[in-house]
Each structure stands twice: as C-alpha cells, then as structure tokens.
Amino acid sequence: MTAFLLAHLSDPHLGPLPPARAVELLGKRAIGYINWQRKRHAVHRRDVLTKLVADLHAQHPDHIAITGDLVNIALPAEFAQAAAWLKTIGSPYDVSLVPGNHDAYALSTRRHFARAWSDYLQGDELIAAVGGFPYVRRRGPLALIGVSTAVPTAPFMATGYLGPAQRAALDKILERLADEPLCRVLLIHHPLHSAPGRWAARLRDSTELIEVIKRHGVEMVLHGHDHRHATVWFEGPRGRIPAIGVPSASASSGEHHHPAAYNLFSIEQSERGWHITQRVRGFSNEASPDTVTELRTAILRP
Ligand SMILES: [Fe+2]
Ligand SMILES: [Fe+2]
C-alpha cells in the first residue's frame, strides 16, 4: 500500500481588504481595519501564498487540510473572495476546512463562513451537532474530524471556544471511531496549549478538550492560529499524540511569527499501528521569499 499524503496549511489571511462602508467599520472591526492597513497587509502577502500553494500542488497531496483564518475582519465581501481562493486550492472533496477566529471576527457576520464555504465544511454524514461541527470526512485511511473554535470576541481578544455541546458530540464520535482501523486526524484552529503570553488568544476550554482526546485518542492534531511551527505531545490511551502547528501560509519574515510554510504528512499503516512522517516545506528565514524549500523532516510515529 502506498502512503497517503496529507498537506496542511493555515491562516492565509487573504488580502487585500475589500472596500468597506463606514457602518461596517464600527467596534472591533475598526481596530482590525487600522491594524491591517498599518501592519498586517505587509505581513500577509498574496505573492508569498501563491508560491507556497504552487509548491504544495507540485507535491500532489491526496488531501489538503486548512485550519482557518481565511479572512481578516470578516467583511461580507471577504467571504466571497475566500470562496474563490478555496476553489483554486482544490475541490471540496479534496480539501477539508475548519474556521478560525478571524472568520467569526464580527457578530454580524459570524455565521457567514458556514454558508460561503459550506462544501468544504461538509461531513460525510449529517451528525446532530452544533452548526455542523464536529464533522467527519473519511478519505483513504483517514478520518478527518473537524471542529469549530470560531467565536466572536471582544476587541484585543482572539480566544476560541468549542462549548459543551460540541465537546460532547466529539466525545461520542471519537468513541465510535476508536473501533475502526482509521488514522484519526483532528482539525482545529486554536492550539490545545498556549504560552502564557498568548492568554488572550487561547482556546478557553482546552482542558476539557484534552480530557476527551486523552480518553479516546486520535493519531494527530493539526492546528494554526499562532502563526508558528509547533510540535506538542499529549498522552493518549495508546501512546503519545502529536499536535502540530503551522505558520501562516502567506507570512513574509517577521519578528513575532515564522515565514510561510506548510506540512506534508505521509501516512501509512504498519504492523504496529500508524507510521507518520512530517515534511516541512516553506520559506527559510535566510532565503529570499522566492524559493520554497524542504526545511526539515520528522518521524512522528515510527
Ligand atoms: Fe491567524
Ligand atoms: Fe487565529
């Protein structure tokens, strides 16, 4: 059996911002708009994203996972722009998406992502859950389980929240999937563990989520949000579980984040369970943002 190749990218923060009416720039969006015009537009570059995606497509992955923050301040026009971009990444069958906090940035458009990107958020079967989450998509040997942590927050906050109903549904889903010979990959925008300095950007119910994961296990957790490479291990019922974070797919070099990169996971069933290798491809700090290279490889499950 040949290995299944899963690509993971996150946080494209697609620009440029479409023109906004004054009434759309009230409250939290006003701060986000100024922030974008002053700093973020120079960080999140379309040309960087385009080069990264071209390299990703050249690797011919079997499936692509995207863990949120497609838009910036959730203006209605940003969702259509992002839907058009999604089509360039792949078909809804080949691309699985979960939303990020920027996709639910404003109260008035907090449900827009569910409509605009519905095909990419659709599970194989309808599970009675919160707004369609969690979903389960079976692709090759994988069960991709997508959850939503995307909730509107107060200005200067970027926290995420699953809530008790979604966690209870996830508990049931993972219990059911544990009996099947599937490689379970949890897709989530926020990391399960945040550094103390990221308190205002943490997943609020991460302790409860980790309990669910520890009870039933998954083979891997993929997240975005911190715009940095991260590998954190959690104890599961059948060994350690890697939680892997990836930088923003559009980020040029910067002090507080890593330059754009994506991960390629080669997944194969072995006699001892799942064999998973991670290849990191992206722009190195030194290299010009013209060249995507292989930055490193890691064996996650021997
Ligand atoms: Fe982000
Ligand atoms: Fe985020």
Task: Quick: pLDDT tens for 123-132.
Answer: 998 776 778 9
According to DSSP, the residues that pair with 44 across neighbouring strands are 251
Element (H, E) at 264: strand 261-270
The pLDDT, as a whole number, for residue 286 is 62
Is the pLDDT at 57 greater than 90? The verdict is yes
Q: Is residue 33 one of the residues assigned to a domain?
A: no
C-alpha to C-alpha distances, 135 to 126, 195, 231, nearest whole angstrom: 8, 28, 24
Residue 185 lies in a domain: yes
Orientation of helix 164-177 relative to helix 206-216, angle to 10°: 10
145-158: average pLDDT: 96
Residue 247 Cα to ligand 1 middle (Å): 9
Residue 291 has pLDDT above 70, yes or no: yes
The number of folded domains in the chain is 1
* Burial zone of 157 (CB within 10 Å; 0-12 exposed, 13-18 middle, 19+ buried): middle
Q: What is the structure's pLDDT at 271?
A: 81
Mean pLDDT of the chain: 94
What CA–CA distance (Å, rounded) separates 133 from 63?
20
- pLDDT digits 0-9 by tens, 189-240: 999 999 989 999 999 999 999 999 999 999 999 999 999 999 999 999 988 9
Asked if the structure places residue 91 within a domain, the reply is no
Assigned domain for 183 exists: yes
Distance from Cα 296 to the centre of ligand 1, integer Å? 23
81-129 per-position pLDDT tens digit: 999 999 999 999 999 999 999 999 999 999 999 999 999 999 998 776 7
Residue type, 38: R
What is the reported pTM? 0.97
Query: Does 97 map to a domain?
Result: no
Say if strands 63-66 and 95-97 run parallel, antiparallel, or are unpaired. parallel
Q: Is residue 240 part of a domain?
A: yes
| Cα dihedral 58/61/62/66 (nearest 10) | -120
Show Cβ contacts of residue 7 under 8 Å, excluding neighbours closer than 6 positions.
Answer: 56, 59, 61, 63, 64, 65, 262, 263, 264, 265
Residue 288 domain-assigned (yes or no): yes
Across residues 160-183, what is the average pLDDT?
96
Average pLDDT over residues 136-163: 96
Report pLDDT for 165: 95
Torsion of CA 144, 101, 89, 24, to 10 degrees: 150
What is the average per-residue pLDDT within 147-160? 96
How far apart are the CA of 21 and the centre of ligand 1, in A?
A: 24
Nearest-ligand number for the alpha carbon of 71: 1
128 in any annotated domain: yes
CATH code of the domain covering residue 179? 3.60.21.10
> Residue 23: helix, strand or coil by DSSP?
helix
- The residue segments making up the domain with residue 156 are 4-10+45-68+123-301
Q: Predicted confidence band at 60 (pLDDT cuts at 50, 70, 90)?
A: very high
Residue closest to 67 by CA, chosen among 122, 9, 112: 9
Ligand 2 centroid vs 161 CA: distance in angstroms? Answer: 12
Task: Please state, in angstroms and as integers, the Cα–Cα distance from residue 154 to each residue in 20, 70, 106, 188, following that order.
Answer: 21, 20, 9, 21
Q: Is 41 exposed, middle or buried (0-12, 13-18, 19+ CB in 10 A)?
A: middle
What integer is the mean pLDDT of 13-34? 92
Q: How far is the CA of 253 from the centre of ligand 1 (A)?
A: 15
Which ligand has the nearest atom to the CA of 248? 1
Q: What one-character-per-residue DSSP string does 142-197 give?
A: EEEEE--------TT---B---HHHHHHHHHHHHHHTTSS-EEEEE-SS-SS--GG
Q: Which ligand is closest to the CA of 70, given by its number?
A: 1
Integer Cα distance of 294 and 290 in angstroms:
13
The string of pLDDT tens digits covering residues 201-213 is: 999 999 999 999 9
Ion ligand 1 neighbours (CB, 5 A) are: 11, 69
Q: Can you read off the two tokens belonging to residue 278?
A: 């991670």
Query: What's the one-letter identity of residue 190?
Result: H
Taking the centre of ligand 1 as the mean of its atom positions, its distance from the CA of residue 189, in whole angstroms, is 9
Q: 192, 167 in Cβ contact below 8 A? A: no
Distance 68 CA to ligand 1 centre (A): 7
Q: Which ligand is nearest to the CA of 98?
A: 2
